[in-house]
Amino acid sequence: MKAICIFCGSRPGVRPAYKMAAENMGKLLAAKGITIVYGGGNVGLMGILADAAREAGGEVIGVIPQFLVNKEVAHTGLSKLHVVKSMHERKALMANLSDGFIAMPGGFGTFEEFCEVITWSQLGLHQKPHGLLNVEGYYNPLIQFFDHAMAEQFLTPTLRSLVLEADTPEALLNLMAHYTTPTTFPQSAQTETQL
């Protein structure tokens, strides 16, 4: 993977571990020569991630809609900043620039962006890995919900396997590096993709 898209909070969260994870992720990706693609903000975990990567010599590409630039939340110290017209354009460009996706702790935007790229994988629009960085169990309820959806037969085990999870950046990157996209989905998934 040459570039990884990171979805994360525009707030830092309450636990110091969230900030530490963002710093560690930024430094680790910089050390591995992997470009970070993210939402282009200078606030919360987004800003912490970008600053840590840049300070470590890493390449960071931001993608931000004009209305957020107008609110003065755009990071001005990035390798490159793409200013786009809409959130839809933002997500499409982030996906196109990336070889994989990671969700760090965040709120509604993070959840939505992560679930959208998983859906795109389910629909066969890409074959890139997706991982949850489960810092201090932050994503335990979401992981349990995915398991519940599988138990209730709204997700097949194959679809559930699209979501990788680990509690450290190193472990998650290792899982993503060895990820193999399922080549075929069960009939129930194929039917769902035709809707």
What's the Cα-to-Cα distance from 84 to each of 25, 65, 72, 96, rounded to whole Å? 26, 5, 15, 14
Look up residue 95 and give its two tokens: 């996906």
pLDDT at 189: 44
pLDDT at 187: 46
d(CA 51, CA 144): 32
d(CA 163, CA 52): 26
d(CA 21, CA 135): 7
Q: Where are the domains of the chain?
A: 3-193
d(CA 69, CA 89): 15
pLDDT at 182: 79
Tens of pLDDT along the chain (195 residues) come to 999 999 999 999 999 999 999 999 999 999 999 999 999 999 999 999 999 999 999 999 999 999 999 988 899 999 999 999 999 999 999 999 999 999 999 999 999 999 999 999 999 899 999 999 999 999 999 999 999 999 999 999 999 999 999 999 999 999 999 999 876 554 444 444 433
Tell me if 102 sits within 8 A of 7, measured CB to CB.
yes
Q: Inter-axis angle of helices 87-97 and 108-122, to 10 degrees?
A: 60
Q: Between 3.30.70.270, 3.20.20.10, 3.40.50.300, 3.40.50.450, what CATH number should domain 3-193 receive?
A: 3.40.50.450
Tell me if 39 sits within 8 A of 64, measured CB to CB.
yes
Tell me if 93 sits within 8 A of 39, measured CB to CB.
no
pLDDT at 188: 44
pLDDT at 190: 45
